[in-house]
Amino acid sequence: MQTTRDPLETVTVIIPALDEEESLPLVLNDLPDVGQVIVVDNGSRDATADVATRHGATVVREPQRGYGAACLRGLAAVRETVEKGHPAPQVIVFVDADFSDHPDMLPQLVAPIMDGRSDFVLGSRLLGRREPGAMPPQSVYGNRFACLLMRVLFRARYTDLGPFRAISYARLCELGMSDQDFGWTIEMQIKAVRAGFRIQEIPVPYRRRVGTSKISGTLGGTIKAGSKILYTIAKYGFRRWKPTRTDAG
């Protein structure tokens, strides 16, 4: 008797993590069963890596600090797996390790890609229900301003720069992602528009993170992130870019 393969077996989840031993088990417990979960330990000083291993995740290490650096290391791990002869994933999902996102919504996030209707699906916190205090005012206004600039410069109709996102692995390989810190999310969104991807947003709920935010929770982090986002918008706003096939890692 032939069994039907669960489509989520073709999904790989990448979780950048820095000192998230308390929240990471909550994230991993709420994730549905997928083909592979990669936790990128971005220089943690706590038991983040041990926690991830105990929950069955693949752990890779990226000592260079930076959200983008961690995501790039996760993609490099995917490429290494494919080069060893394993099937390439159909979809890559990115989710934060702080339990502010709702990992149990992964099936809704990947469905439009699985069905062939979209290439890139963004979970929008600003369209969804936000727990009080989950996004401080500077984060809300900063996201809205960045999306306004993208609409003016790139005709992009985003409402958020949310970290919970799904993208076709094959299409992601075309983008040549390179940013190693706070510009990662907006780089992907700008390049996806310029490459003509079929893009969809779905509302996602958002809750207060476990622990203190390393970005919006500090003045320095907020300034650095905001500056890098504006720099990235300006960089691609005044530069011609053509998608080229890369190995996304």
Mean pLDDT of 202-225: 76
The full set of domain ranges for the chain reads 8-237
Q: What angle do CA 237, 249, 192 make, to 5 degrees?
A: 35
Predicted confidence at residue 118, as pLDDT, reads 98
Helix (H) / strand (E) containing 193: helix 184-194
Enter the CATH code of domain 8-237.
Answer: 3.90.550.10
Q: What is the pTM of this model?
A: 0.91
Q: Quick: pLDDT tens for 12-51.
A: 999 999 999 999 999 999 999 999 999 999 999 999 999 9
Helix (H) / strand (E) containing 26: helix 24-30
Other CB atoms within 10 Å distance of the CB of residue 88: 14
Q: Exposed, middle or buried: residue 110 (CB in 10 Å: 0-12, 13-18, 19+)?
A: buried
Other CB atoms within 10 Å distance of the CB of residue 106: 23
Predicted confidence at residue 5, as pLDDT, reads 66
Q: Alpha helices of 93-165 — where are they, by DSSP H?
A: 106-114, 137-154
